[in-house]
Structure 1
Amino acid sequence: MQRLDETEISKAILNSYHEILLARIVSDVVIVGAGPAGLVAGTYLARQGAKVTLLEKRLAPGGGIWGGGMGMNVAVVQQEAIPVLDEMHIRYTPKSEGLYVVDAIELAAGLCFSAVQAGVAVLNLVAVEDLCVHQGQVTGVVVNRTMISGALPVDPIVLSAKAVVDATGHEAVLVAALRKRCLLPSLTDGKPPVEGPLDADSGERFVVEHVQELFPGLWITGMSVSATLGGPRMGPIFGGMLLSGQRTAQQIAPTLKA
């Protein structure tokens, strides 16, 4: 085995990461939240040639997939989402009519692998503190290290993009940032909508059908859709997240060519 030099190891990490970060100061699309919807949206966009940067505040991407239902690492996917699994080369087993089970570890790892292989730059341990808005248009995200954000008085930096996607799930962090700045009007009775109680069938349809550009330059996908527009949650079934991410990519892709 070759003799190792700790200094060269450090240089390799620093030089490589800074090359990645510098290349992603400006992207076609910045997706915030590396759960299933964000990963799928990023993969499809990158496969079409878009420069996609995916930010995740936690150490591991994958969102809530890893725990399956109640800590049992099995994920359920409905028939309509099977083509997405096929395209990502993720295995599944039929369980009952129209329902399939997937090893949650394979699903999370497979989505992460597909995104990186497609060319998505995944930056974990990066938290979004705010949005950059110019002339009524979201033009980027204000980011900091997760360990620094909110803990130390250290200024963030900006990553710019033509389109920004809120894939942060129940928190809908980017939508909340716009509301905090009074840039996004309330949608019901002067108050923001509240995410509804669990209804698997309605919840799955809602997160797919209501993918949209909520504010110029800002799109919502996955559970951020329900959290923002008052749709129901759906529990431990993941097909809607996959299809929501796919639809997000389908809607954003044409805007990048305009």
Structure 2
Amino acid sequence: MLPNVKLFNATAVEDLITRQGEGNTLRVAGVVTNWTLVSMHHDDQSCMDPNTINAPLVISTTGHDGPFGAFSVKRLVSMKQLDKLGGMRGLDMQTAEDAIVKNTREIVPGLIVGGMELSEVDGANRMGPTFGAMALSGVKAAEEAMAVVDSRKKENQY
């Protein structure tokens, strides 16, 4: 593994760290994390303080199903940074694969969204069990990240 890559096993993102950006806009500046089991049981066990990870840029590709699916974009709606989600459409691999890869992008300053989470934003079709486009969406997200990371470092004073 590369020295600058960190993997966090059994960890869930509970919230987004936000700061005021240029022009009084909100930008994503990191994530709030906790152990997954703690996140899933906040209502029936004692609270455990979360951890924060400041980052000049966050890439979110959490998918669409499950308790944490499309978390980042759902949170943006609740923070009124997105009006609403487009809602994922039915499975159409041929249409979806091109759309997801092509439209992987920074949707608000500091947050790049790709993969099936993007289908929830754009109202794109579901891809199904074909992982080629999911991987290519990750490559596109990395390319997008390289294009914006220097400006985010300056804003976050890293």
Matched, 1:249 2:137: no
Report the Cα distance in structure 2 between the residues aligned to 1:184 and 1:156, rounded to whole angstroms. 25
2:51 corresponding residue in structure 1: 157
Per-residue CA distance 1:106-125 (angstroms, 9 max, x = gap): xxxxxxxxxx3575211111
1:126 corresponding residue in structure 2: 11
Deviation at 1:149, TM superposition (A): 1.3
1:148 corresponding residue in structure 2: 38
Summarize the alignment of residues 21-36 of structure 1 with structure 2, pairs less than 5 Å apart. none
- Counterpart of 2:19, as a letter, is H
Mark the runs of 5 or more structure 1 residues left unpaired by the alignment: 1-115, 187-191
- Counterpart of 1:123, as a letter, is F
Normalising to structure 2: TM-score of the pair?
A: 0.81
Per-residue CA distance 1:116-161 (angstroms, 9 max, x = gap): 3575211111111111111111111011111211413222121010
Percent identical across equivalent pairs? 36
2:71 corresponding residue in structure 1: 173
1:184 corresponding residue in structure 2: 82
Deviation at 1:241, TM superposition (A): 0.6
2:95 corresponding residue in structure 1: 202
- Counterpart of 2:70, as a letter, is A
Root-mean-square deviation over aligned CA pairs: 1.5
Normalising to structure 1: TM-score of the pair?
A: 0.51
Q: Is the 8 A contact 2:112 2:144 kept in 1?
A: no
Matched, 1:217 2:110: yes
Answer with 1 or 2: which has the greater Rg. 1
Mark the runs of 5 or more structure 2 residues left unpaired by the alignment: 21-25, 152-158
1:14 corresponding residue in structure 2: none
Report the Cα distance in structure 2 between the residues aligned to 1:157 and 1:235, rounded to whole angstroms. 33
DSSP 3-state at the match of 2:30: strand
Summarize the alignment of residues 50-69 of structure 1 with structure 2, pairs less than 5 Å apart. none
Per-residue CA distance 1:171-208 (angstroms, 9 max, x = gap): 2111111112222222xxxxx21100111100111110
Q: Is the 8 A contact 2:86 2:123 kept in 1?
A: yes
- Counterpart of 2:79, as a letter, is R
Report the Cα distance in structure 2 between the residues aligned to 1:119 and 1:134, rounded to whole angstroms. 24
